[in-house]
Every structure is written in C-alpha cells, then in structure tokens.
Structure 1
Amino acid sequence: MQTQKSIYPNWVIAWGPEARSRPATWETSGFAIIGSEPTFSPNQRFVLVGDCCFDRTPTLKQQIDTDGLTDLAIVGRLWEQSGPQTLSLLEGQFALAVWDRDEQTLCLGRDRVGAKTLYYTRTGTTRWIAPRLRSLNPYHDRELDLVALRDYLCCAFVPGAQTLWEAVRELRPGSYLYLPDIEAQRYWQPEEQITNADRPLEWHSQQVRSLLEQLVQEALPAGEPVAAYLSGGIDSSCVAAIATRLHDCPVHTFSMHFGAQHSSEIEFANIVAAHCGAEHHVLEVSPKQIWELLPETLAAMDDPVGEGLTVPNLLLGRSAKQFVDVVLNGEGGDPCFGGPKKKPMLLNTLYGSVQVKSDPIAAYLTSFQKCYVDLPRLLKPEVWEKVKNAPSLC
C-alpha cells in the first residue's frame, strides 16, 4: 500500500492471515505494521504502535523512572508489569495497539475522553486497525450503516462505536479491546460523585477555579507563545484570562464574526482581550469563504460533524497557526456547566415530554432541532422501515 501523505497519522495494523500481504515497516506471522516503526518493551515481548501525549504525573513516576523515555516506551515498560491496567495510569491523549508476541494477542486502547481516535474492521479473517477512518478504506466493503446514518441525522454526529461504514467500528473513549473479542471493556468512565454537599457555594466555586487553573497550566507550552479561541462567553473568557495570568510568553486570542450585518459577540471578546492584555486577532468570515472551503473541510474529516462553525474553525485555526503551535479553547464548557445543550433535558424534567409518550431521548432529539422529526420524509420508505425501531445510541 502506498503511504497516504495527506493523512496524519497514517499507520495501519493488520492482524490475521493477510497481515503479510502488504508492504510493511515491521511484520511477523499474523501481525504487521504499515507506515510506522514499532516500539518494543524492554524484554521485547510487547510491540507497540500508536499516538501518545500524556502527562508524566507523580502517580506514573512512582511506577517507573520516566526520564529519557518516549511516551510509547513508558507504556511498554508499564505493560510488562500491569498489562491493560496500564491504561488507567495514563492521563492525557493516546490511541495505541499492543501486540503480545508470546500470547499472539492484540490489545487496542484509547484515552479517557477520546482525544485520539482508533478504528478497526469487524468482518473478515483479517482485522485492520488505524487511527484514521479513511486509512481503512482499502480494507473493507463500502456498505453504509443505515442505523448510523439515522443517528447522524438526529445528532449531527455519529454516536457510540458506530461509523457510517457497516464493517468498521470506533473504539470508544476509556476502553480497550482484545481482538478477536467483539465487546470492548471499560477501564474508565465518568461517574457522578456528590461530595462536600454541605460546603458553601463559595467553596465549590474556588474548587472549579483551582481545577481550571491546573488544567490550563498543564496545557501551556514552556517558553513558547500560546493562543486561545475567544468568543467572549464565560468558558473561553475564563481560559484566556487564566492563560494570560499564568503564562510567561505572549498569549494570542482569536475571535471571528460574519460581517457587520450579522449579530455577533465580538464586542465582548474585544473587552476580554483588552482586559487580559492579550494580543488580539479578529477574523471576518464571509459566506463565500465558507462555500469555497466546504469541500476541503469535509474531506479532512473522518466522521462527519454537522456543525455550522466547522469551516470557520478551520479558518481560525489557520490564522492561529501563523503565530503558535498550541491553541486553548473553551469547548465542552456548555455541557459541563449546564449550558444551552442541557436546556432540552432540563425542560423535559420540569414540564414533561414534548412527545405524547414520556421519552427523554425523543424529547431531547425533538428539541435539538436537527432531523429527528423529519426522518420518515428524509429516508426512503424501505430504509425507514429498517431503522425506525433500531435501538438508539443518541
């Protein structure tokens, strides 16, 4: 297989009888790595490939001496001691595969929040694994997963382990999978833990502040400038303010709007940037730019995302790249702090379902204003009959 230079990361793993049928960078009976050199554990038993970027926390350093080791080499040493329990020790971003040369088994693992992606084929005698969905295109049938299509139209993304391809699945965050097992195992998942309920509100707000400061501090690149996307809302403003206070190098903030004829929050972003003393950059995005860049943006994504800001975010990223290599943002704050995406469920809890039947998922998807209520008209009748009663992962 020719290396696809436009795809990064571009490695592929083959596990099964066809593993040695393609040119490989490293191979053995039943296992091959294409497009990347492996990392070996100290005793050479485990062969590792993947993308890792995790913090070398005190807990991790208590297990082994991490000095002078690459992230994959750290995983290799830990795997000799703890096997897949190693994943619980890693805090950061990773998607990796570990081949056990003695047991002839292959384990796939992914970080807790899914910052890195990992896909695998689930049909045929040979399984193919890659961090990019398009890298697997030569190795599976192009049959559309109709349930995944239905859920995409409902959610504006493909939820769960599904992909739009019937033959390919995504390893979910906080999980690991031993091939040829079908079901992945969870090593971590978010849990609701209510503690210190008797503490005053001020105490809890200080805890949130401390956590935000800790996380922003960990993300700041030592000795280098950093950027922050700034909408002027609470989440991005907090991140930008903390970064400018804690970082000893320039902080660039980036905001965008769509022209004077459209409403925007740019005035709030300008106020925050001036207050923080950031080097502020404002980008005006036109409909023409969005239209022209839409094909390129869609081609760059593995799984489609029905988000109206996808193309503008590409332009914002290109602008930031001229100044920095690391960009901070406030994405994810709304769901965590009861923002707009929580309102449908809150209203449903307070006032009952907008549907005839009290179905919280139906209530959410209806109020989410995507395509849920229009599915019978959007899908062909024969397709709708196949998917309308299938369990939903939305």
Structure 2
Amino acid sequence: MCGITGFWRMERGGGQGLREQVQAMSTRLKHRGPDDCGFWCDEETGIALAQQRLSVLDLSEAGHQPMPSACGRYVAVFNGEIYNHVDLRDRLAGEGVAVAWRGHSDTETLMACFVAWGVEETLRSCVGMFAFALWDRQRRELTLGRDRMGEKPLYYGWQGDTLIFGSELKALKAHPAFRAEIDRDALALFLRHDCIPAPHTIYRGFHKLRPGYLLKVTSGSRRESQQWPYWRYNEAVDSASATQFGGTDQEAVDALEHRLGDSISTQLLSDVPLGAFLSGGIDSSTVVALMQARSRRPVKTFTIGFAEDGYDEAAHARAVAAHLGTEHTELYVSPDDALSVIPKLPSIFCEPFADSSQIPTYLISQLARQSVTVALSGDGGDELFGGYNRYLAARTTWGRMQHLPLPARRALAGALRAVTPGAWDNIMERVKPLLPRKWHLARAGEKAHKLSEVLTLSSGQDYLLNLASCWKDPASIVVGAREPATVLTDPAAWPRIDDLAQWMMAMDALSYLPDDILVKVDRSAMANSLETRVPMLDHRVVEFALRMPLDLKIRDGQGKWILRQVLHRYVPKELIERPKMGFALPVDQWLRGPLREWAEALLSEKRLREEGFFDPAPIRRTWKEHLSGRRNWQRQLWTVLMFQGWLEENQGAS
C-alpha cells in the first residue's frame, strides 16, 4: 500500500526541476507510505514518477519504487496489492518465461507480466486492488490504471500541456501548474450524494479514473489520450444472467464459503502484522471467522464502542471475538474523542466528503494501527448479498405502492404533508396504547413526510434516486450550478436487470460502494498509515455473487441469507442475529449541542452570502428547523458543513 504521484510535462525544454517538483508532490502523501520514498525522472521527455511506500510485501530494497522492469523498457509506480502474484510467477515459469527475480514483491511480478503479456492481459489475470502509472520508455507512452471495484484511488488532470496524477488531490495541488477552480456542478453532485461521484472531482479540469479503467497518453498531447475499461461491472452482470447458479441451497452455501475463504487466504499474505475490523455484524464476523479458521494463532481484531444508546456494537463484537478466540482490542470512544476528529476531516479527505461514519472509521483505523499494518474489513457484503434495508423495502413498501394508481398516491402524499411532522408525532403518542408494540414509531412525523415523497415517484429508478439523494434539488442551492449526469441518472449506464431489488444492488455497487464506502475506508485508514483489504470485493467473489438468484440473498424478509448460512457454521445465530445498526454517530444531537457553535459559524447567512457558493435561504431554514427539534436534517446539514470546513482549509480555491 502506497501513495503514488507524478506528471508528464510535454512542452519543449520541460525537463528542468522535475525531481524537486515531484518530490514536493510526493511529500504530501507521506501518510500513505511512511516507510520509504522514491523518485524517477526523465528530463528529455519531461516525465516524473514518485512513490511513498508502506512496506507490506518484501520489506527489502528489492521492493523499492519507482521500479524498472528487468528489460529496462518500463518504469512504474504502484499502489495496492496483487494477491495472486505468486500464482502469476508460476504461470510465467510454466510458459517458459525466464525471470531473474530480485525479490518477492508483487510490483516486480506485475512488471514481469506487463513485459510478457501486455497491460490488459496482465490486469485481467490479476486478483487485487491497485492503482498504477506505467511509463513505456520505448514508445514514450504513459498508462494509468485502476482496480475493478475501485478500492484504490487515482486522480488526474491536465493543466495546459502537463498531465498531473496521484493517489490524492493534495499531491496534485503541490504541482506548480495546478490551478484550483471549484467546480460548482460537482458541488451540486456533492450535495446530492454526500460525496463526489467518479469521474468528477471538486476541481474543474480534474477527474477520478473510473474503476476498471485504463487511461493511455500516447504522444505527449491530451488530444492523443484514450480511456477504456478492461473490466466492466455491467458486463459481469450480463455474463451472470446467462450462467445463473442452479445448485441446491447447500451447494450454494458450500460454494460461497469456498470462494470467500479462498479470497481471504490470499489476502492473509503479508510480511507485517495483520488483523481485522470487527463490528459483530454479519459481514465483518464472517470475514473474521474465515480468517481465524485459516490462522495458526489468534487473529487480532479491533472494535470501538460508544456510550450513547443505540450506537454501540462493541458488546456484540466482544461476544463474537470470544467465541472465535481472537485477540480482541476494543476502545470506548467519548463524544470528545469523536468530536476531536472533525477538524482533521478536511485534510484527511482531500475533497468534500460527508458520510458521517468517516469519524468512527478513522478512529478504528487509528486503534488498529497501534498493533497492525494491515486490516481486513467486511465492506461489500451489503451490496453483493442484499443487506441494506432499502432492498427489502423495494420488495415490500414500493411493491405494494404499485397497486395504487399514481393520482391516488399523489393525493395520499398531499394528505400526509398537510399535517406537520410535530402533529404526526403527537398523534402517534396518543394512539400508541391502541397499537401493537412493533408499530410504535419514533419520529413518526418525519417518516410520514418521507413516505409522502416516495408516494409521488413514478418508477423504481426514481425510488432509488430519492433514497440516495441528500438534497433533492441541489442545483437550486448551489449558485450557478448545473448538475451533471451520473450513473444514477444516466439510463445508458444502468445494468440490464428487471428485478428492482437486484437492480438497486447493482447500482449501489457501481456508485455508492466505490464513491462513498471505499473512499471513506481508504482515506481514513491511510491517514493512519494502515492498509485495508476487502475480501468480498475479490472480483471472483463479486462475479459469483452476481450469479446467485435473489432468493439466496433475500429470504423471509431478511437480507444476506446465504452469507448468514456461511457464518452460522462458525458462530451461533444468537450472537449475530439482530437488527442492522450501521456505523452511525448521534450527529443530530451533537449539532444541537456541542457542535452548535461550530456549525452556526460555518452556516451564518453573512458567510454563505459572501462566499457565494450557496443560496443561504434554504440552508438557514433547514438549520433553524433542525435546531427546533421538529425535523432531523443532520444528513443535509452535515453535507453543507463538510464543504464549508473543507473550503475554510482551502481558501486558495475560488
């Protein structure tokens, strides 16, 4: 795991000062790789590469980067891990390719494969997470690449005739050609999604390379660059629909246990201490159970707990750890501990990011790094195996609504909105004694108004967009913005799946997973110099999950059925069967309490108007309503606050 960066300056005489410039860029990524740093420059062509290394495989000098190929034709910087690199070496030997190996790093394996098979064939053969830059000295050609599911980041952009790239935007900003112009259209996307979806970034002219894509620049001109996918999720969906799993339930559970176990076995390869995050939920417990079954010594597991009711899973994690026999570490975090992270967020996330679970993710990464250098996580289980409640709702709430004509639904929505949220809460309190306990709704008014939004929607696609949207009309809030199309709003990008729940899972895997979840995990962990690995996102597991019928994922009103069956072989049901909690924090309470003064300063009408990015009226109205307790607008407010905090640290942008 590392931080990589570089640039290609193409104007005549562009080779002067290359090392100093790329070194300044690389220094901004030291948190991603504190163990070693390296630079490579070619003044004649104006190319410069750099890497900050977190040593995980082959801690010797043989793993140093930038790394040349044995033949001298290629030079590369690489971030990530190739889990099957030993198998790739065996394949090279079986094909009669003689390689005088200098060490046992996966980067050296990758370089030998590039020479033997070319870039695309190599990547199709790789199992791993990665981002890389490869310079072909013979053809004067630069190739950037990113892993299939988007675990590792890669930013790039042109400034005149200079291509700048790197693992984080902060490295790009250190280049003297960088010009920081905030993209108001991307800001509108941020208000909708809590993050900025690929390929967009907060800066105009800069992009994220999409998962599974290659970018090649062939002749020193941006006009000669081309970009294409070597692997596409939608193609995997199409292939899976033609080869659906047809075995019994028992055979399906056996097959998943084998595939996921094989993925975990390969990801245990490390020359440094390794552990796992453990929340006590289905996903992380399954990963830890399979890890422990393959380990000769207790696996190191980590969890954090919170004192607030409804937010603490530490006791559940402790019980699972005790049953599995792991070496478990837990830390109870006070509100002050969590709040102390907030000032760091604009630096940790180099562009605005507003998933509030970024705070506990940072804290658990910080805890784990005290004992290990690598941690496995259970991310991806919800998107692959139907874990989010919205997938269940797609089969119940939305499905039932379709029996009502749209005009009738709109009339009902109007009736729900005619009663204020506070009045609905009062009604609920009065009728509670007459209702079964399972119908005692907290925040009944808020839920009634959310239901009114859903009732007016005309399609399942609109249903998902409504659920995914933080601010429903962000372009009306961001001054001068026109919201661009994304995966969620571009039908040409949608997978061809008829069932709404299955379609929603695929859409989340294409958008929410790489743009939110994996960004959160990568930045939070790497800010602590911790490598994270995600076994469920091994593309072989992903492709197998796509082949499973929905009934193996959602059954009897419960998601992740097949994953639960694997886990039940290792952990008793009573330890893990409970309502899904997520990794949430009481942000709504904090905004009315310890964060109120901080938020008020960032949301002041004078400040918003002077900065000129937002229309202050809807933001101030939302803030006052939240403070009154009538509505919980924490998600909407947190998004604005995260931009405001980021802007405060990046005042040079305009």
Per the shorter chain, which TM-score range?
0.7 to 0.9
Q: Among 477, 493, 497, which residue is 1:378 paired with?
A: 477
Instruction: Tell me: CA distance 1:166–1:263, structure 2 relative to 1, closer, same or farther (3 Å).
Output: closer
Specify which of 479, 485, 496 is matched with residue 391 of structure 1.
485
Query: What is the percentage of aligned positions where both structures have the same residue?
Result: 26
> What is the SS of the residue equivalent to 2:7?
strand
C-alpha displacement of 1:11 = 3.3
In 2: Cα distance, 1:71 partner to 1:28 partner: 28
2:178 counterpart of 1:84: no
Q: 1:378: Cα distance to partner?
A: 3.2
Deviations 1:343-362 (A, max 9, x none): 26555567459374535443
> Does the 8 Å contact 2:188/2:475 carry over to 1?
no
Aligned residue in 2 for 1:146: 184
Q: Work out whether 1:268 is the aligned partner of 2:368.
A: no
Q: Which of residues 178, 185, 195 in structure 2 aligns to 1:157?
A: 195
The aligned length equals 381
Q: Which has the higher helix share?
A: 2
Aligned-partner Cα distance in 1 for 2:269–2:184: 43
SS of the counterpart of 1:163? coil
Instruction: Identify if the C-alpha distance between structure 1 residues 92 and 223 changes in structure 2 by more than 3 Å, giving closer, same or farther.
Output: closer
Q: Mark the CA change 1:203 to 1:159 in structure 2 (over 3 Å): closer, same or farther.
A: same
Q: Which has the higher strand share?
A: 1
2:17 corresponding residue in structure 1: 22
Cα distance, 1:54 vs structure 2 = 0.7
Could you say which residue in structure 2 is the equivalent of 1:290?
A: 338
**Aligned-pair CA distance for 1:298:** 2.9
Cα distance change on mapping 1:209 and 1:261 into 2, 3 Å: same
Where 2:81 maps in the other structure, the secondary structure is strand
Alignment of 1:1-394 (within 5 A): 9=3, 11-17=5-11, 19-24=14-19, 25-36=40-51, 38-55=66-83, 56-59=85-88, 61-63=90-92, 64=97, 67=101, 68=103, 70-85=105-120, 86-137=122-173, 138=175, 139-179=177-217, 180=222, 181=224, 183-190=226-233, 191-192=236-237, 193-194=240-241, 195=243, 197-221=245-269, 226-340=274-388, 342-343=390-391, 346=395, 348=398, 351-352=401-402, 354=454, 356=456, 358-368=458-468, 370-375=469-474, 378-380=477-479, 382-383=480-481, 386-387=482-483, 390-394=484-488
Distance 1:238 1:44, change over 3 A: same
* 1:115 CA displacement: 2.4
2:25 aligns to what? none
Shift in CA distance, 393/122, structure 1 to aligned 2, threshold 3 Å: farther
CA shift, 1:133, in A, is 1.5
Equivalent pair of 1:365/1:372 in contact (CA under 8 Å) = no
Q: Which residue of 2 aligns with 1:3?
A: none
What CA deviation, in whole Å up to 9, does each residue of 1:231-264 have, x standing for no partner? 1111111111122221113312222222054443
**AA partner of residue 228 (structure 2):** Q
Distance in structure 1 (CA, Å) of the matches to 2:124 and 2:253 = 28
Contact 1:226 1:250 in 2 (8 A): no
Q: Over residues 90-135 of structure 1, what are the superposed CA-to-partner deviations in whole Å (9 max), with x where a residue is unaligned?
A: 2212222222223222111122222222221134111112222111
Following superposition, the deviation at residue 281 of structure 1 comes to 2.1
Aligned-partner Cα distance in 1 for 2:460–2:202: 25
- Please state how far the C-alpha of 1:265 moved relative to its aligned partner: 2.9
Q: Is the 8 A contact 1:221 1:326 kept in 2?
A: no
Moved over 6 A (4+): none
Residue 373 of structure 1 aligns to a residue whose secondary structure is coil
Gaps of 5+ in 1: 1-7
Q: Distance in 2 between matches of 1:219 and 1:151?
A: 35
TM-score where L is the length of structure 1: 0.86
Q: Given the superposition, is the C-alpha separation of residues 70 and 267 from structure 1 closer, same or farther in structure 2, using an over 3 Å criterion?
A: closer
Alignment check: 8 A CA contact 1:335 1:341 kept: no
Unpaired runs of 5+ residues, structure 2, are 20-39, 52-64, 407-453, 489-654
- How far residue 169 of structure 1 moved from its aligned partner, in angstroms, is 1.0
- Provide the residue aligned with 2:620 in structure 1: none
In structure 2, the CA distance between the partners of 1:110 and 1:358, relative to structure 1 (3 Å rule), is: same
Cα gap change, 1:357 to 1:13, in 2 (>3 Å): same
- Structure 2: how far apart are the matches of 1:73 and 1:144? 39
Is the contact between residue 9 and residue 46 of structure 2 (CA under 8 Å) also seen in structure 1? yes
Distance 2:250 2:182 in 1: 51
- TM-fit CA distance, 1:164: 1.0
Please tell me the residue identity of whatever aligns with 2:108.
Answer: A
The verdict on how the C-alpha distance between 1:304 and 1:210 changes in structure 2, with shifts beyond 3 A counting, is farther
What are the superposed Cα offsets for residues 70-90 of structure 1, whole Å, 9 maximum, x if unpaired?
A: 433333333233332222222
TM-score, scaled to structure 2: 0.54
Structure with more relative contact order (C-alpha pairs < 8 Å, separation 6 or more): 2
- Contact 1:227 1:326 (8 Å CA) reproduced: yes
Deviates more, 1:79-88 or 1:292-301: 79-88
Give the direction of change, closer, same or farther, for the CA distance of 1:128–1:259 in structure 2 (3 Å limit): same
Indicate how the Cα distance of structure 1 residues 19 and 112 shifts in structure 2: closer, same or farther if over 3 A, else same: farther
